[in-house]
């Protein structure tokens, strides 16, 4: 049965839920990436952005938010509508919400490489082979010196250490990683190498539930 990604967001309304704790850490890392970003225009992309609860509030409050051109891509129309409403309410005129399949490379072609790449809520919903593929694609989505923020549950077998190894193989440096006490790991990696070209017409991953 397919997951109801609209209902999935309900746990955000419980401040004590693991999902809320994960969200707080993701927001912290987005803020840190903005703090450390070079002066001038910035780009951000959010894959499977849901209702945009991670990126939108940070851009609305952070001094560098006005410098960011961002695209949030979400397939569920209910989530996409709520994200778009939040963007309008925040007055973020350089942020767009696109209802589409975030796995399609063509959705990102005109906005990458980006300074912030959000891959949150994805890695627990695909095969290990697709996780590896997405990490490889992050080398195409992220600019040199840019930050990828990602999440993955710690359920057995814990893939988090392997994901970190995969990022290292793609010339990313670990900036931050939550400990095993959190049920969902939140990590941030910075690309120290040069981005690779993003191919057209490629599907980067497929959700298995």
At 108 the pLDDT is 98
Tokens, residue 27 = 């927001």
Identify the sign of the CA torsion 162, 167, 171, 173: negative
User: What local confidence, expressed as pLDDT, does residue 1 receive?
Assistant: 41
- Give the mean model confidence (pLDDT) for residues 53-67: 98
Average pLDDT over residues 13-19: 78
Domain residue spans of the chain: 7-191
Higher-confidence residue: 132 or 6? 132
CATH fold group of domain 7-191: Rossmann fold (3.40.50)
Q: Taking 70 as the threshold, does the pLDDT of residue 6 lie above it?
A: no
Rounded distance between C-alpha atoms, residue 13 and residue 110, angstroms: 34
Q: Residues of 137-175 as b/e, b for ≥16 C-beta within 10 angstroms?
A: bbbbbbbeebbbbbbbbbeeeebbeebbebbeebbbeeb
């Amino acid at each position: 049965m397919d997951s109801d990604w609209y209902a999935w967001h309900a746990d955000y309304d419980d401040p004590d839920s693991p999902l809320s704790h994960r969200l707080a850490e993701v927001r912290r890392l987005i803020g840190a990436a903005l703090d450390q970003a070079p002066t001038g225009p910035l780009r951000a992309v959010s894959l499977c952005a849901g209702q945009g609860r991670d990126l939108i509030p940070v851009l609305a409050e952070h001094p560098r938010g006005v410098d960011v051109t961002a695209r949030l891509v979400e397939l569920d129309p209910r989530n996409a509508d709520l994200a778009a409403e939040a963007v309008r309410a925040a007055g973020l005129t350089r942020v767009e919400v696109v209802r589409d399949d975030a796995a399609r490379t063509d959705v990102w072609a005109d906005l990458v490489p980006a300074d912030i790449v959000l891959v949150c809520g994805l890695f627990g919903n695909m095969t290990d082979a697709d996780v590896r593929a997405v990490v490889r694609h992050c080398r195409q989505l992220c600019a040199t010196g840019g930050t990828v923020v990602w999440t993955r549950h710690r359920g057995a077998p814990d893939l988090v250490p392997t994901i970190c190894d995969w990022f290292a193989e793609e010339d990313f440096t670990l900036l931050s990683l939550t400990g095993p006490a959190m049920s969902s790991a939140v990590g941030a990696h910075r690309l120290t190498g040069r981005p690779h070209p993003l191919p057209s017409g490629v599907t980067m991953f497929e959700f298995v539930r």
